[in-house]
Structure 1
């Protein structure tokens, strides 16, 4: 569930209902300390600061120069953190138009030139990729809505569409009680932790043997 602050002022879009806002803080890199708005809508659940700090400590030598994919973008916290820390590019994918609009606005504020924002469901977007003809990613963030059973099909499509570099790293964030199933056999669990109701894991992809 999204974190809402009932004391925050809501902004009213033109010809639309009030849309409450909240903010995230970038915790490292060139934009360290910058606060950015995002819409507080149902199902939008930003990765907590302490989880992001742990994750990017794990990834500190892997992010610079990486081609990244941020699925179920939401607030954009993971992809923005990667850009701040030197990622070569980030492709952001989210199905909510208001989320993508705000993300584009935030990227403009930051003067980020190496990002692409896509309005689409993660599953649809992956299914439309042409196998073997797309860019391959070094680092993928997967943070789907809880209790929707989306992790396994997303992981399967990443492999089927050949979207991963041979030793790509894949971050998966889920509800703590979820038994993680359907992970490709060539993904090796590298790190994992739990924080409250959240479990987060980092996988290292092993090259497939012919």
Structure 2
């Protein structure tokens, strides 16, 4: 059944098939169901108990899916006020407020401030607006926030693959229609890692 604009469906875990409303204005585009399914198949050995960061959270689809599948905590970072409120409302409806935090902030500014904090993340979802050219600046700032053996999901328009900075490596890449996506890891902050 076709969903109305402004709705997404959680596709796995404890909230499977739950519909979540989101603010669809300003170009918010949840990661498509089949892409999410592939991503969480890739992450299935790691999702249980993980601490996640959902940058450019938009609808919150990726972070909510992670929580549904057993992640311990997700921090959502979203600049838009309406989108941030929508994520908070979804967390409230799912009775998941104690397992999440929502920061209404521009992502690069948030990353610069978060580097001074103690929190570290195992899984990071990075799906910025396609026209903003933000993947590489985000990756440059991420290493201080990452736990070892991390996984990073990146999404970009087909044909415009990002260049990974030193200390990163691709693990998987795939294309679905006009969307390309991949899984990477960062070893830049691990003992013995080469300095860039």
Whether 1:34 and 2:18 are equivalent positions in the alignment is yes
The one-character-per-residue Cα deviations of 1:80-127 (angstroms, maximum 9, x if unpaired) are 000000001000000001001111111000000200000001111011
Q: Secondary structure at the match of 1:31?
A: coil
- Partners of 1:102 and 1:185 lie apart in 2 by 36
Residue 209 of structure 1 is matched in structure 2 by 192
Question: Contact 1:173/1:201 (CA < 8 Å) preserved in 2?
Answer: yes
What is the DSSP-based 3-state SS (H/G/I as helix, E as strand, rest coil) of the residue aligned with 1:45? coil
Other-structure match for 1:18: none
SS at match of 2:182: strand
Say whether the 8 Å CA contact 2:115–2:145 is kept in structure 1: no
SS of the aligned residue for 2:82 comes to helix
TM-score by length of 2: 0.91
Map of 1:164 onto structure 2: 146
Per the alignment, in what secondary structure is the counterpart of residue 128 of structure 1? helix
The superposition leaves residues 41-89 of structure 1 with CA deviations (integer Å, 9 ceiling, x where unpaired) of: 1221110000000000000011100010000000100000000000010
Q: Deviations over 1:109-153 (max 9, x none)?
A: 00002000000011110112244x421100000000002110000
Relative to the length of structure 1, the TM-score reads: 0.86
- Matches for 1:99-138 after TM superposition, within 5 Å: 99-112=83-96, 113-131=98-116, 133-138=117-122
Shift of 1:166: 1.4
The separation in 2 between residues aligned to 1:184 and 1:26, in whole angstroms, is 32
Higher fraction of helix: 2
Partner of 1:71: 55
Q: How does 1:1-210 map to 2 (within 5 A)?
A: 22-112=6-96, 113-131=98-116, 133-159=117-143, 162-181=144-163, 183-206=164-187, 207-209=190-192
CA RMSD of the aligned region, Å?
A: 1.4
Which has the greater radius of gyration? Answer: 1
Change (3 A) 1:98 1:48: same
Q: How many aligned residue pairs are there?
A: 188
Give distance in 2, aligned partners of 1:141 and 1:209: 26
Mind listing any 5+ residue stretches in structure 2 that lack a counterpart? Answer: none
Alpha-carbon spacing, 1:59–1:114, altered in 2? closer, same or farther (3 Å)? same
Structure 1: which 5+ residue stretches go unaligned? 9-20
